[in-house]
Amino acid sequence: MKESLIILKNVKKTYKVGEQEFSALDGVNLKINQGEFVVILGPSGAGKSTLLNLLGGMDKVTSGSIKIGENDIAKYNDKQLTNYRARDVGFIFQFYNIMPTLTVEENVALIKDVTDTNKKVEEVLKSVGLLKHAKKFPSELSGGEQQRVSIARAVMKNPKILLCDEPTGALDSKTGADVLKLLKKQADNDTTVIIVTHNSLIAEVADRIIRIKNGKVESNETNKHPKNIEEVKW
Amino acid sequence: MLYKKMFRDMKKNLSSFITIFLMIMIGIMAYSGIEAYMDGMKETADKFYKENNLQDMIVYGQNFSDNDLKTIKNIQNVKNVERKLSVTGITDNDKTLLINFIESNDISKFYVVKGKGFEKDAKGVWLDEFYAKENNIKVGDKILVKYEEISLKEEVLGLISVPDHLYDVRDESELYPDRKEFGFAYLSINEIPEDYIKSKVMKEMNIQDKNIFDTYLKDFNYKDYIVYNSIMIDVEDKSKRDIVKNEIEDKLKNALAITNVEDTLSYVTYQGEIDEGKTYVGVFSGLFLFIAMLSVITTMTRVVKNQRTQIGTLKALGFSNGKVLFHYIGYGFWISILASIAGLFLGYYFIGTTFINLEMSFFEIPNGHPEMNISSYIVAILSILIVAIITYITGRSILKENPAETLRNKVPNVKGKSLNITKNKIFSKLSFSTIWNIRDVIRNKIRTFMAIAGVTGCCMLIVCALGMLDSMNYFVKLQFKTLYNFNYKLNISENITKSDLNTLYKKYGNHTSKTLNIEIKDKRGNRKSNNIFVTDADNYVRFVDNKNNLISKPKDNGIFVTYKLAQTEKYKIGDKVTWHIYGDNNYYTSKIIGFNKDPQNQNITMTRKYLENLNINYNPDTIYTNVNLSNIKEIKNVETIQNIKALKDGMEGMLSMMKTMLVLIISIAILLGSIIIYNLGILSYTEKEYQFATLKVLGFKDRQIKKIFIKQNNWVAIISIIIGLPLGFYLTDWLFKTAIEEHYDFAASITLQSYLISAIGTFVISYIVSKILSHKINNIDMVTSLKGNE
Ligand SMILES: Nc1ncnc2c1ncn2[C@@H]1O[C@H](COP(=O)(O)OP(=O)(O)O)[C@@H](O)[C@H]1O
Ligand SMILES: [Mg+2]
């Protein structure tokens, strides 16, 4: 049994909308192990992105604690959060969010500006199959290729946690599967990969499936028999 | 890597960054160029005055003897003196020459452009370089110089500039010099022919026979009888000139007037040009720089705000706020440094040099060159800082958010509170587009404010530019149509006899005037020089009140003073003014019975009868006539003939030059205004793209959406026009009232037409820019826009 890397205790997040308060997360308790391939499922507006943003240090909790290893990032100040994001977290967004004016390899090399990494841009690009596009600008790539740039960028820093918000949401199923394969490979390399999606098929390949609804964890179970990506019918 | 991103981003937003570059460059160029030109004028003159030893004071009189010269020289603080005979002569081709016969040339020394310098024994003439150029006269040419009975054929020995002749006009009513018709010349005193002096002396002594004269006055030396009518004084300590002045007044009874050089026409006009220019151009270039900076700021804000998602992403990747900020500040920083350097450079070499050269074709002064002003560097540095600070503030407002917030989407954070009023009942009656725009304005107060400030500034500039033209035209009309109600002005020779005068009267009528140079003594005993216009010209010279309505000339029981003089001296109707004529120590006291407005001369007016009632002799110096003199070049006993139409044409020529300048100002104002509207338009468009896309999905037609979008810009334009028109008037009025030389009394007078042009122009420009922007609505891609990400 692996030790829990991530432990959330009674995490609440409320947004002020005008005069009213809106509770996006309402007492979330979670444990996630290191190296797990986690899928978070839930209807739109359930609070999935909110949860992911809190995990990634992009937003602050209203109350509760988020332990990453020894540290409670809920208590971090802005500077500590920045360091945390720079060193430990990789993000993958639905719309890639790569720098349009940097080439593929430059987008990946950008990471060297925020953290020390022993990875080589070339190797990382090779691992996502983008070596031949290294000199291209993002606008010259397909959606799937762009998402792979964003994966390469995340992988480049060798993060503890890889957070993906609907990474395949904008992709067709074939390219989506390719992207998932790459993400799965990271989990096999001991990175904890957390994917937010509303595509329940993806859940079939996960080690752990967390269901969220109305800001609460509905279920949190380990998948005893995760399938290979090839086995899933998209 | 971020540097690479920066340069690529700049390349991608090339037009924006070129705009920023140009705006800063032009703004700083305008400012520094004009400063350099103004400082250059001052420096150039200071240097010329110093190196060529401009006199500090001048004493005018009928005749100064050797003894008088010695007396002055012995006064404490007097360093050097030099006397000369200055007269107005003519040439064989009827040009007017101010002729100076001098003994030496140590004060107001020649600057020799060509030829040789002054030598007392040299036979020949040193000629005004500008006059020579206009009339195509070269060193070595021979010219004929005539004065009274003297007629000298002289070789031109040198072409010169002299520090007390930077600016010369035949008559003060001519606003700008005509170098082709009027110039100055210097000759050695030795050139005055003995015969001329001899015959003059004989005439005075009533001796007809030359032989008798020669026997009676065996040791007659004609040089003792040469008349010198002015003395130039060079002092050790300028601040103690009053003491020198008092002593001369005590010791030299024949000194008619003693003037500090700062009060002479040449000096005053040149200095006035600097002072006026500093305010005028300072205001224009300041306002200009302000608008330019506003357009830079809006562009920068637009560029940074458009990078919202990228900022969020960089933060998500772990870049610290500092690093991200630094990256974005770099955008404006390098551009503004480059632009500032280019602006300073062009300001000096392009604007500065061009303007100086323009001035140097007007003022006769050698070696005109621009001079860099410290404030230009300060303004350049400030501009760079402002751009950096604005980028910092814009960037920081985005960085203050959580990256999650930044990345969430472009849907702006709608704060309910401030919009509550718009939920009021009154608003429910308004159309959707109006409510929508009101809310948008309330939510974007700063943006709206900047838009209004920018458009107002441009509207002001346009009003002011047109208004200056209007006001000048108005002035020309007032001066040459209303006040001057005659066609020709004849300046009568000083020593005219009664019978000669009557001959003139018979030919040209007896509408005359006389100007008396006086000193006014105020209650505290301070004396100030001024002049009295004594009129016997009926309605040939008319008067107006403050509102430019005609009033009749003063009654014979008192004087008029001009409004501006009354204002500065705090005169009221019924007050008494105490004055004396230069060269006469009798003081008179006159009652103020009215005010008149004079755009060019702040003085006192009285009638001939009033003057004669004071027992002062009236001998006119000017005749006004409507007799057609268009073919007449020369009239006996008349020094100069001035054609009012020619004066007016001259003025209008100057105005058309001004027009070109103003057209330039207006074009730049329009350009800057358009940039500001465009930037803010894009800014608001980007924020609203999501909403527009939604409207489109809902089935709104492009045309409807465009209407919503244009509506707000129209509001901004209308508000700006409402503010800009009166501010434009006040700016123009201020420029005319405060910036102008003391003896002018101008006010803004802007025609309805100019207001209309400014208003419609501003609106149309704003409308066109909105229209161009609204084309973007055709191209909204609903799918990607609604995804809310780049
Ligand atoms: N910055 C915010 N301000 C106000 N409400 C927010 C904000 N971010 C998210 N929400 C609300 O919180 C709820 C959960 O949002 P989110 O976590 O994005 O849902 P999803 O599960 O679809 O990713 C939604 O109802 C959303 O409207
Ligand atoms: Mg989401």
pLDDT tens, N- to C-terminus, chain A (234 residues):
457 889 999 999 998 876 788 899 999 999 999 999 999 999 888 999 899 989 998 888 999 999 999 999 999 988 888 889 888 999 888 888 888 778 898 889 888 888 888 889 999 999 888 999 998 888 888 888 998 899 999 989 889 999 998 888 878 888 888 888 888 888 888 899 999 987 888 888 899 999 999 999 999 988 888 888 777 766
> From the list A17, A58, A111, which residue is nearest B403 (CB)?
A58
Cα–Cα distance for residue pair A120/B715, rounded to 1 Å? 56
Size of interface A-B (CB pairs under 8 A): 99
**Average per-residue pLDDT for chain B:** 84
> Looking at residue B349, what DSSP letter applies?
I
Instruction: Count CB neighbours of A23 within 10 A.
Output: 15
Cα–Cα distance for residue pair B443/B438, rounded to 1 Å? 9
pLDDT tens-digit profile of B428-480? 667 777 877 887 788 778 778 888 988 898 898 889 888 988 888 888 889 88
pLDDT tens-digit profile of B696-711? 666 667 777 788 888 8
H or E element at residue B258: strand B255-260
- 10 Å CB burial of residue A43 (0-12, 13-18, 19+) is exposed
**What DSSP letter does each residue of B30-55 carry, written as one string?**
HHHHHHHHHHHHHHHHHHHHHHTT--
List of chain A residues whose C-beta atoms are within 8 Å of the C-beta of residue B317: 85-86, 91, 110-111, 114, 153
Which residue among B400, B401, B407, B408 has the greatest number of ligand 1 atoms within 8 angstroms of its CB, and so is best to mutate?
B408
Query: What are the structure tokens assigned to A177, written together?
Result: 């599967």
Percent of chain B, pLDDT > 70?
Answer: 93
pTM surpassing 0.80? no
| A50 CA closest ligand 1 atom index | 17
Tokens 């208004």 found at: B467
Beta carbons of A53 and B402 less than 8 Å apart: yes
> Which residue has the CA at smallest separation from atom 7 of ligand 1?
A15
Q: Which of A58, A88, A105, A139 is the mutation pick for testing B, counting most B CBs within 10 A? A: A58
> Which residue has the CA at smallest separation from atom 19 of ligand 1?
A45
Q: What is the mean pLDDT of residues B494-498?
A: 85
pLDDT tens-digit profile of A68-110? 999 999 999 888 888 898 889 998 888 888 887 788 988 898 8
Q: Cα–Cα distances in Å, from B119 out to B106, B188, B189, B221?
A: 11, 7, 11, 22
pLDDT tens-digit profile of B42-75? 999 999 999 999 999 999 888 888 888 899 999 9
Q: How confident is the model at residue B610 (pLDDT cuts 50, 70, 90)?
A: very high
Task: Please choose, from the candidates B187, B228, B193, B231, the residue with its C-alpha nearest in 3D space to the C-alpha of residue B97.
Answer: B187
Which residue among A13, A14, A15 has the greatest number of ligand 1 atoms within 8 angstroms of its CB, and so is best to mutate?
A15
At residue B788, the pLDDT reads 43
3-state secondary structure of B415: coil
List of chain B residues whose C-beta atoms are within 8 Å of the C-beta of residue A60: 402
Query: How remote is the C-alpha of B635 from its chain's centroid?
Result: 36
The DSSP bridge partners found for residue B641 are: B490
Q: What is the mean pLDDT of residues B224-234?
A: 89
Q: How confident is the model at residue B789 (pLDDT cuts 50, 70, 90)?
A: very low
Q: Cα–Cα distances in Å, from B196 out to B200, B227, B454?
A: 6, 12, 71
> Are the CB atoms for B717 and B763 separated by under 8 Å?
yes
